[in-house]
Structure 1
């Protein structure tokens, strides 16, 4: 892992997002294999991706990391910290790393980090009904389906259902003792 690793599993390391990561983050809005499942409505240029880093990562209370495997950036994980309610997770991986368990490892590292360092009763995440991979990540980590909003988002030309997941601290603690 790198000298800037904050948290790691056996296979994945999380490090802070740097401004040099703008090209990586830009890809989430331009690559259809990431953009569509993420629900990003419009592509961003490099300047907009840099502004996202400055405004959302550096200036806010959000907690964001680049996920790495053997020093190579493979994706992004973030907790949007809110004044009310639970922090909401946002995550994606580069398509060439899909289906290999890295998403579960990276999001699992983020979840563990948050429950160990942030005072919060629980976490939440949303995904789209069609995004089976994202739903699988959450379910493997113990998140519970807390409800579905029918046709709540317009993604890639049609309305899709939004599924909300949650994980309470006590549920996470129970999983830690298993």
Structure 2
């Protein structure tokens, strides 16, 4: 991953509390670029880094982690800078990542972990097609309190039904 991208990635603060998303791993295999002279939405796969850029600045990151190719499942995480949320960048990047993992890598299931008090992230996952599969009670201790983590999941065939290849 180029050093400026890595520095920008580490500078992202997805939440006012510096607790980070649960289960975050290394960013993976996707770059979405928007800017002058580029088609409106262009995806470029990278071998080892994932970031979301707008006019050459990093605005967020998406990545897969905890991948188990033998069992056919993986987890993913996404984060966006506050001023770039609700503009479609995260949805586009996640759909591209899921399409790559389901169609190219042949995984069967994707999981996502979301803090139970993060209503915006829970709604985002549901809009993508994830369903709640469980809750890990008092799973994370942060800022003096225990937090629940909601486990969400989507199967490859559910993804294919919801997201056409032209999307």
Please state if 1:82 is matched with 2:65.
Answer: no
Question: TM-score, length-normalised on structure 1?
Answer: 0.68
Q: Deviations over 1:27-86 (max 9, x none)?
A: 14x67537345259xxxxxxxxxxx97xx769xxx9641012343311111101235541
Contact residue 59 and residue 84 of structure 2 kept, 8 A: yes
Could you tell me how far apart the structure 2 residues matched to 1:19 and 1:83 are? 29
Residue 69 of structure 1 corresponds to 54
Unaligned runs of 5+ in 1: 1-16, 41-51
Taking the aligned partners of 1:23 and 1:111, their CA distance within structure 2 comes to 25
Deviation at 1:26, TM superposition (A): 1.8
Note the 1:22-41 alignment, pairs <5 A. Answer: 22-28=6-12, 33=16, 35-36=18-19, 38=21
CA distance in 2: counterparts of 1:96 and 1:66, whole angstroms = 16
The TM-score with structure 2 as length reference comes to 0.72
Q: Does residue 18 of the first structure (1) align with residue 25 of the second (2)?
A: no
- For residue 116 of structure 1, what is the aligned residue in structure 2? 103
Match for residue 82 of structure 2?
A: 95
CA distance in 2 between counterparts of 1:126 and 1:31 reads 14
Q: 1:87: Cα distance to partner? A: 0.9
SS of corresponding position for 2:68: coil
Name structure 2 gaps, 5 residues minimum.
30-46
